[in-house]
Amino acid sequence: MIPLERLRRGLRRLGDVPLSVKLLGVILGIILIGVLVSTALLNQLTKEQFARFNTLRTLTYAPTLVPLFADYYARFGSWEGIERLLGEDLDASQAMRRMHEWMMRDHTMSPEMMAYMIIAMYDVMLADGEGRIVLDPDRAYLGQRVPVRVLERAGIPIEVGGRTVGWLVSATALSLFNPLEQEFLRSVQRSILVAALAAGTIALLLGGLFLRQVIAPLRRLDEAARRLAHGDLSQRVPVHARDELGRLAETFNEMAARLQRSEELRRRMIQDIAHELRTPLTVIQGNLQAILDGVFEPTPETIASIHEESLLLSRLIHDLRELSLAEAGELPLHKQRVDLREVVRRAATAVQPRLEAKGVELRLELPEEPLPAEIDPQRIRQVLLNLLSNAERYTPEGGRIALRAERRGGEIRVSVSDSGPGIPPEDLPYVFERFWRGDKARTRSSGGTGLGLAIAKQLVEAHGGKIEVESAPGRGATFMFTLPLAAGSPGASDAPDSGSGSESESESESKEAPSALRSA
C-alpha cells in the first residue's frame, strides 16, 4: 500500500509540472531510448556480421588443411602432439614473418607453412571427433567442447577411414576474436556510438524547435484565456497554422467573440428590458398619481389609457416568459397533423383588415396540393402573425406583402416578403436577437417590443425547422422558414440537406417581392 500511495503522490506532483518540461522529458526519454537501443542493436549486428564474414573466409581457406590433418591422424592414430606439426608459436605477426622468411629462402610454400599461415591468420581451431578443441592458436580454449550446432553450421569435417575424426572450425564462429579483431570491433562500436550521439543531438535540437512551435501558441492561448476569465472579452490569439493548434486558436477566438457579443446583448437586453418596463409603469403611475391628486378625473378615457399601458406591460412580460421557455426547450408544443395551407390562410385572414386599412396589398400564394406537417398550429400561426406584423410595420402605404407556402423536396418553405426600405447588411446577423432595433430611434409604438422575431426563431427551431432573412437596402427583405413534411407524406423521405433548393428561384422571388422587415 505504501509504494502505491507514493506512486499516487508522485503522479499528482507530476500533474503540477509545466507541460513544456513534461514534453521535453518525453523527447529526451525517446531520444535516449532510441540511442541506447540503436547502439546496442548495431553493435550486436556488426559483431554477428563480422563473425559471419570471418567464418565464411575461414571456410574458404580451411579445406586446404584437411589432407594435412587427415594424414597426421592416419599416421599417429590420434591428435596428440598436433601442435608440433606447426611449431610452438602461432601468432599472426610471427606467421607473416615466418612466411616471408620461407619465401625468401626457397621461394616455395610447404603444406606445413600454408597450414601455419591459415591457422594463425584466420584463427582456425582443430577439434577432435567429439568436438573438444585440441589445437588453438591462442591456447586459451584447449579442451573446451564446441557445440554440435556450431560444428554442423561452420565446421569442416576431417574424415579418416570413413569416420569423422576431427573438425576445423573458425574461432569467430564461437564469437571469439583475436586482439586485432577485437580492436577493429571496438573502433566500429565507437563510431556507432558517436553517430548515435550526433543523431540524438540533432533530434534533440529538432525536438526543441518543434516543442517551441507547440508550447508558444499554448502559452498565448493560456494567457488570453486567463484575461478572458478576468473579464477582458476582447482577447484574441493569432492563428499561424491550420493544424489542431490553429483550429484550437480559431475556436477560442470564435468563443471569445460569441462571449463578447453575448455580453453586449445581455447588457443591451437589460437596458431595453428596464426601458420597456419603465415606460408603461411610468405612464400608469403618473396617471394614477394625477387621479389621486385630483388633476385627472377617473373618466372612462383615463382608465382606458391606464388599461392600455397595463396590457402592453403584460404583453411584454408574457413575451419574455415565452421566449425564455422556448430557449430552454421547455415550451409545450401540441403537435398534430395539419395542412399547413389552412394555418397560412387563417393568419392571412387575421391581418387582412389592418392591411386594407393601411392601404397595403396582401398577396397569398399557395399550391394546389396539400402541405401536410406535424406541427403545433397555434405556435406556427404565432410565427406567421409575428412575421406579418413585422412586415406591416415597415411596409409603406400602397406597398405590397407577399405570403407564400410551397413544397421544396422533403420540406415546406414559407416566406413573407414586403416592399419596404430593406435591412442594412450590417444588421442582418442581429435581426433575430431579442430587443434588437436596427433603427435606434424606433419607439414601442412604431417598433413593437423587439421580441417577435426572436420568439419566431425559437418556435421554428423547436419544430425542427430553420428561419432566415434576405434583404438589400431599398429593395426590401424576405423572411422565410422551413418545416419538415409530415412522416409518411410523399417525398418526406427525400428531404434535402439544409440549405438545399434552387438558389435561382430564391433569388428571383426575392427580386419579385422584396421586404423591409427588421424586428418584431
Say which range, 307-311, 434-438, 497-501, has the weakest mean pLDDT.
Answer: 497-501
CA atoms within 13 A on the CB side of 99: 19
Q: 444-481 pLDDT, tens per residue?
A: 444 456 678 888 898 999 899 999 999 888 888 899 99
Taking the C-alpha atoms of residue 419 and residue 432, their distance in angstroms, rounded to an integer, is 20
Q: What confidence tier does 218 reach under pLDDT thresholds 50, 70, 90? A: confident
Taking the C-alpha atoms of residue 479 and residue 471, their distance in angstroms, rounded to an integer, is 9
| C-alpha to C-alpha distances, 163 to 74, 160, 167, 431, nearest whole angstrom | 12, 6, 12, 106
Structural contact between residues 372 and 337, judged by C-beta atoms closer than 8 angstroms: yes
| C-alpha to C-alpha distances, 156 to 130, 162, 173, 268, nearest whole angstrom | 14, 15, 12, 99
Where is mean pLDDT largest: 7-11, 305-309, 382-386, 432-436?
Answer: 382-386
Structural contact between residues 459 and 326, judged by C-beta atoms closer than 8 angstroms: yes
Rg (CA), the chain: 49
Q: Which residue has cell 447588411?
A: 425
Q: Which residue has cell 400561426?
A: 381
Nearest to 339 by CA among 500, 456, 483, 498: 483
At 299 the pLDDT is: 85
Taking the C-alpha atoms of residue 401 and residue 72, their distance in angstroms, rounded to an integer, is 124
CA atoms within 13 A on the CB side of 46: 18
Taking the C-alpha atoms of residue 448 and residue 412, their distance in angstroms, rounded to an integer, is 28
Q: What is the DSSP letter of 174?
A: G
At 114 the pLDDT is: 66
At 278 the pLDDT is: 77
Q: What confidence tier does 432 reach under pLDDT thresholds 50, 70, 90? A: confident
According to DSSP H, which parts of 129-178 are helical?
A: 148-154
Does this model's pTM top 0.95? My answer is: no
Greater confidence (51 vs 71) lies with: 71
Q: 79-122 pLDDT, tens per residue?
A: 888 877 665 444 545 555 655 565 555 555 566 666 666 776 66
Q: What confidence tier does 125 reach under pLDDT thresholds 50, 70, 90? A: confident
CA atoms within 13 A on the CB side of 482: 17
| C-alpha to C-alpha distances, 413 to 101, 214, 500, 504, nearest whole angstrom | 111, 48, 11, 15
Nearest to 65 by CA among 88, 82, 77, 50: 82
